[in-house]
Amino acid sequence: MRIKKLKKYLIGILIITACSTGINIFSDSDEISMGKQFDREIRNNTKEYPIYKGDPNVREYIDKNIFQEVLKSPEIKKSAVYPYKMEIIQNDTMLNAFAVPGGYVYIYTGILKYLDSEAALAGVIGHEIAHVERRHATQRISKAYGIQIILSIALGNNPSQVTEIVANLFGGLALLANSRANEDESDDYSIKYLQSTRFYPGSVKFFFEKLRDDGKISKGGQGIATFLSTHPDPIARINSTDQRLTAL
């Protein structure tokens, strides 16, 4: 009985701490389970997320020569924990990529065709991996669901809670709305990851520089409009990346 009281007391402290500091209450196994469910939802939604069915050599090349190369970075701490996987989504209008918990990274054909170097793609991939490693999605979920979800998961009273969360969250591109702090942190970690690879550490800025040089930031368009609606100002990110590189 005293043990149960102690457990409830400790959980109470956890709840107070979680609500005040924004702590992430999901475990790695929760993230993996959540990622598998998101991946299943994405693959079943062929209208919104049509998986690339073209030349299989394209996917194999990107996975082997860029994605796996970035994952070799010793700065990526959960590469042996999460089942990191990359998939290509067939949509030439979308200049974007995104990641979901547990190591699932999705890249649109639009950004693949737009980027003009492997390094630029490595920078984007490093950024998305950082969202996974830094657990940005489940941080937002922890904050959004508050005390009720924290208590339910902590006590183990509702084993299907993670499944319910995925079902409630999945819908369009809402999942991509990281905070400015999340995006800045992911840019920073992309630099750290690439430092120990064959790619230029600051490759994360190449995409933004191309957007600037092509005048796409001011011209807009469907693909870039969606990107700008879910990401901070590209020019500011170029400047921030340059500052980080100077400090290396």
Band the pLDDT of 240: cuts 50, 70, 90: very high
Q: What are the tokens at 5?
A: 């009281």
Compute CA distances 225 → 177, 179, 187, 218, 230, whole Å.
Answer: 14, 17, 20, 10, 9
- How far, in Å, CA of 108 to CA of 186, rounded? 19
Q: What is the pTM of this model?
A: 0.82
**Backbone CA torsion sign across 62, 63, 66, 67:** positive
- How far, in Å, CA of 70 to CA of 84, rounded? 11
Tell me the pLDDT of the chain averaged across its residues.
82
Lowest mean pLDDT among 41-45, 137-141, 209-213: 137-141
Give the DSSP per-residue string, 80-132: TTS--EEEEE--TT---EEEETTTEEEEEHHHHHH--SHHHHHHHHHHHHHHH
What pLDDT, in 10s, does the model give residues 31-62?
999 899 899 989 999 999 999 999 999 999 99
Domain ranges within the chain, ordered by starting residue: 27-145+168-246
What pLDDT, in 10s, does the model give residues 170-191?
654 455 568 888 999 999 999 9
